[in-house]
Structure 1
Amino acid sequence: MELIPRSYKFWNYAPSIPAAVIFMLLFLALTVLHSWKLFKTRTWFCIAFTIGGFFQIIGYIGRLVAHNNTTTMGPYIVANIFILLSPTLFAASIYMTLGRIIRSVGGEHLSVIRVSRLTKTFVWGDVLSFVVQGNSSSLSVLGYETWAKVAVVGGLAIQLVSFSIFWLTAIIFEKRIRRSPTPECLIPGIPWQKALYMLYAVSALIMIRSIFRIIEYVLGNDGYPLAHEWTLYIFDSVPMAIVMVVFFLWYPSELQKNKDIEGNIPLAQSYSNLHG
């Protein structure tokens, strides 16, 4: 193991103060809105998403501090690890939303993966991605830079594969329910289609971001992405801000269990008969 010299620069540039402040404030505002929405609607399965917003805030504070501390490991670790792991927390709530959509329209029999296992399958994959990426910081501190990079790329690859399977699962479910509508999906007040489109949008953005991050770490410190700060903001910061905006605008609170709608088969059937 090689010890990192004190004069070693962890950044190929001095992180921009204005950019760090702008995105710190942007994610602060978005996280406050998500916190308000979370407690107002009591949509507790979205708590991981809100925590992801706090991770973004901490990460950009780290970049702000790093401007005058490019040779200090602390700000570098904080900035990288919190911004890197935030989408993993977003993903946890996104995965749970699909299960809620399927249950809200009584489409359990149309899911390619049993609903009781669906959320657990993707969330455990998410946890694995989180743990693998999270270990990269300790490896960096110990001086195992190569293994740290492998951990990040491996964790991102797990996330990318998980989201790809998730996307395919959602698309198959949508095709099946359009071909064989359930009585519940015809009831007004269950925005399952909007919720699905929201999931497609946020999943696509996180996948694009994961691909960028994999390319960034594979190319290494001498590669263009890590040598130019604008790439992080365009391919990571902006997409994640959009993810928070989209998720907030189409918040899945209406997918919460409703005694008057979910599970009320007589009501669902009468509505189906009325329109069929």
Structure 2
Amino acid sequence: MFTHKILGAFLLASLLELTLAQETGKKGEINMDNGPLAYQPSIAGNIIFGILYFVLGVAFSYHIHVHRSRWAICLPAGAIASAVGFFMRPIIDADDLQLGPFIASNILVIASPSAFLAFNYMLYGRFITAIDPKFGNVATNASTTILAEDGTKQPKGSLRESSKFSFIPPLIVGRIFIISDISTFMVQVVAGSMQGQAGDDNPELANIGDKLFLAAVSVQGLSYCLFTLLLTVALMRLVVDRRSNKSHALEGGMLGLGKQTTFIAVGFYISSLFIILRSVYRVVEYTQGHQGYLISHEVYLFILDAAPLVLAIGIWSFIWPTILLDRIASETRALDSSQPNTSSVHHNNNSRSDWVPLV
């Protein structure tokens, strides 16, 4: 399952990160005057955000267990990793800096949010299959069916199967953007280790690390902006489809989308807004360089990185997508009078978002 490969890639990068931290930690100590950290980390601020991420990680784990949303495991994994990163920061002494703990905490805080982006990427494909009543219903042979948990055969759709709402086949959207996400994640791991090893004796290494980080977060931010555009186009096409066929319009919500679809669309945009805000902050931060104003003041890490990301993923703890996707799929298929046999495919109690083999 591609989801397991994603988690494996993040775990592999984390092991690489910890190995680099351990090796560089053997090279000695540096202080605030010649090291990569220009301030003493706040105990209260870091503990507060560590607790927030940990609580969200527990909440997401609960949702995944209750609703069997195993595809979403990257969300609690990223939240817990961020929590560990913030919990580690208060033990760092900027005047007597141990490189190992600094590098590990720095990369966990900066790079772990890649998992949050991966979650939204995977959610997009499941959203498209929920709003498109015809998607996945063309399968007629064993090679294009899978077994649901109740033993019944279910259509799965090929990777190239298109949807009228998405100009990229929904089953490969997650794969495309997650490959980009993992690539930038790995670059950030390498850049973080380079920054940690740099001091006054080797400023060029810090500059290279900064440039690598800038390139990685820039590509990551641009990739997510393109994804947001893809989402917007899908929603616009859905609105046009509902307006052209008034029998498909739903009460409640906005623009005839229905309450459930509106909820998940709003969730997407709230999450995306704060992810893009955080990406802009990171781009500006590393544009300023290793000795820049933003990177030298911890308060900006809290208000322009940690807080926006808490809000970006926190929205999903209130409206768990799997619940909404099930309701959306039921509504849209009930409206599709041109496919009378469609509803019989989905009468079991399993979530369509779980059995559709998306990333």
Q: Normalised by the size of structure 2, how large is the TM-score?
A: 0.67
Q: Which residue of 2 aligns with 1:122?
A: 177
**Do the aligned residues in 1 keep the contact of 2:103 with 2:193 (CA within 8 Å)?**
no
The structure in which a higher percent of residues are helix is 1
The answer on whether the counterparts of 1:55 and 1:85 sit within 8 Å (CA) in structure 2 is no
1:244 alignment counterpart:
313
Q: Among residues 168, 185, 194, which one is paired with 1:139 in the alignment?
A: 194
Tell me which residue corresponds to 2:23.
none
- State the 1:220 CA deviation: 2.1
Separation in structure 1 between the aligned mates of residue 89 and residue 249 of structure 2, nearest angstrom: 46
The residue that corresponds to 1:175 in the other structure is: 236
Kindly state the Cα deviation for residue 271 of structure 1 after the two structures are TM-superposed.
Answer: 10
TM-aligned CA deviation for residue 239 of structure 1? 0.8
| Residue aligned with 2:112, SS | helix
Name the SS for the 1:212 alignment partner.
Answer: helix
Aligned residues, how many? 268
Answer whether contact 2:57 2:75 (CA < 8 A) is retained. Answer: no
1:1-276 matches, within 5 Å, as 6-7=30-31, 8-67=34-93, 70-106=96-132, 108-140=163-195, 143=198, 144-181=205-242, 186=250, 191-254=260-323, 261=330, 267-270=334-337
Alpha-carbon shift at residue 270 of structure 1 (Å): 4.3
- Conserved? CA contact 1:27–1:56, under 8 Å: yes
Q: Provide the aligned C-alpha RMSD in A.
A: 2.9
Deviations 1:136-179, CA, capped at 9 Å, x for gaps: 13333564222211221111011111111111111111111111
CA distance in 2, matches of 1:190, 1:116: 25
Give me the whole-angstrom Cα distance separating, in 1, the residues matched to 2:197 and 2:45: 30
Alpha-carbon distance in 2 for matches of 1:90, 1:185: 32
Q: Which amino acid aligns with 2:40?
A: A
Whole-Å separation in 2 of the counterparts to 1:184 and 1:134 = 48
Map Cα deviations across residues 183-215 of structure 1 (whole Å, 9 max, x no partner): 888599982221122111111101110111111
Is 2:38–2:94's contact at 8 Å kept on the other side of the alignment? no
Bigger drift between 233-242 and 24-33 goes to 24-33
Q: Aligned residues: percent identity?
A: 24
TM score, norm. by length of structure 1 = 0.86
Q: Distance in 2 between matches of 1:49 and 1:185?
A: 32
CA distance in 1, matches of 2:41, 2:249: 49
Structure 1 pair 99/5, CA: closer, same or farther in 2 (3 Å)?
same
Tell me the amino acid that sits aligned with residue 36 of structure 2.
F
In 2 relative to 1, CA 175–231 (structure 1 residues): closer, same or farther, beyond 3 Å? same
Bigger mean CA offset, 182-191 vs 4-13: 182-191
- C-alpha separation in 1, matches of 2:313 and 2:80: 12
